[in-house]
Amino acid sequence: MKQQLSIDRVKSRPKRSLGQNFLNDDNFLRLLSKNITTNNDTTIIEIGPGKGALTNYLIKKKFKYLYLIEKDYHLSVQLNNNYKKFDNIKIINHDALSYDFRNFYKHNDVLILGNLPFNISTQLLFKWLCEKKWPPFYRKMILMFQKEVAERIISNHNKKNYGRISVASQARCKIRKIITAPSKVFFPKPKVDGVVLEFIPSIKYKDLDFESLLILLKKSFSQRRKKIKNNLKNHVELLEKLNINLDFRAENISVEEYCKIAKML
């Protein structure tokens, strides 16, 4: 018995290769849980539940289905054992980056939650922002990011940390900061704090070709210190038509202005 417990303990240790930092502070989890609203028709998708710290709060809420997408095989086995008595909780042992979320297109009131591994958080965010059908299959996302990344996501133009991810995220969603997660609420303790953001899909730029916007942003921010007339030298007439100052740099152009440019390309 002691040997089996020892083996389980080794298997459940956080894996650096998977960017695992488990939430282990009940005060923080309670506060986060208060910001998560559901109803009897909600399908919750939790990304990277780990040992189920947040999951244990989610099971007390109203929901129709709860899907736990966990890449770590040993953790997925533990989760299966922990929640096997629930018919409406499904564990999916899969990498969220390659998972086909079209499986949820027929679900109503989808809520995506996740203490995202810091090393793939932006990749996951873009995966969900790049949904071809907009509004997308999800009603809301509540996601944890490294503090520096979160600040870039919600940054306004004319700020140094304003960039491609700021424009892309804000063109797709209304975003607000929910709560800061001090490094001490994780195990192992990371070197940086986390921030939880709420994303609600917006239809303000519903007709925008998002791929065109991403291409535009790549060109615009490729050399940040250059003036926009140099980075977008093939579109100077368009910039002039939109009354955009040619001496501006990429960080000086607003989300709305980038969307206007993208629509006219």
- Segment 223-245, tens digit of pLDDT: 999 999 999 999 999 999 999 99
Residue 23: closest CA among 3, 46, 2, 52: 52
- pLDDT > 70 fraction of the chain, expressed in percent and rounded: 92
- Strands 194-201, 138-146: pairing is antiparallel
Q: State pLDDT tens for residues 37-67.
A: 999 999 999 999 999 999 999 999 999 999 9
pLDDT of residue 21: 86
User: Which pLDDT value is given to residue 188?
Assistant: 87
Positions of the chain with pLDDT lower than 50, given as ranges: 1-11, 15-19
**DSSP state, residue 87:** T
Give the domains, in start order, of the chain with CATH numbers: 2-201 (3.40.50.150), 210-264 (1.10.8.100)
Dist. CA 127–CA 199, nearest whole Å: 14
Inter-residue long-range contacts of 253-256, CB under 8 Å, 24+ positions, other chains counted: 253/157, 253/220, 253/228, 254/157, 255/157, 255/166, 255/167, 255/170, 255/171
